[in-house]
Structure 1
Amino acid sequence: MALFIRDPEVDALAEEVRRLTKARTKTEAVRSALKAQLAEARRAQPLRKRLARSKALADAMGRGDPDFDMKAFTDSLWGDA
């Protein structure tokens, strides 16, 4: 899906971000700026809302296996070391 910048001010801002961040393209600069803005917006959400999202993700994974032995599993990753 394409994003066309038709506003000269937005185009100038994208070019300035590209130049200052040494991004190869405006697309790369816009991607980086949007990711940074999204991360900031997520951090600005109340802790309760962020924790609720994390809890929902954990709940979607289902219950853990109470018989799972993490020590044995970790040891098996080391092999015969």
Structure 2
Amino acid sequence: MSLDIHDPETERLVQTLAARRGLSSEEAIKLAVGNELRREAQTPSLWERIRPIREGIASSPSTGLAADKAFYDQISGDA
């Protein structure tokens, strides 16, 4: 597959990175994409990021009370 970049901003960014690092455009693209893929792989999933919230909810004691659908319908305007 060959890349043919027509976006001036993308070209500018690639050239800036290439100049700063002393790389060719191809090497700069490879570096940038590789770094982004590694960063993404290291970012915890949403499920992992909300783990403390889920654990906090799970650790709350049950009241033993059943949810009152009529009450929830009334406060949400569905009644």
TM-score (norm 1): 0.53
Deviations 1:14-42 (A, max 9, x none): 0001011111x101100011000100000
- 2:22 corresponding residue in structure 1: 22
What root-mean-square deviation, in Å, do the aligned CA atoms of Structure 1 and Structure 2 show? Answer: 1.7
Give matches, 1:1-80, under 5 Å: 1-23=1-23, 25-46=24-45
For structure 1, which runs of at least 5 residues remain unmatched after alignment?
50-81
Q: Percent identity?
A: 23
User: What CA distance in whole angstroms lies between the structure 1 residues aligned with 2:44 and 2:5?
Assistant: 29
Runs of 4+ with deviation above 4 angstroms: none
Deviations 1:36-76 (A, max 9, x none): 01000000034x88xxxxxxxxxxxxxxxxxxxxxxxxxxx
Larger Rg: 2
Letter in 1 for 2:31: S
For structure 2, which runs of at least 5 residues remain unmatched after alignment?
49-79
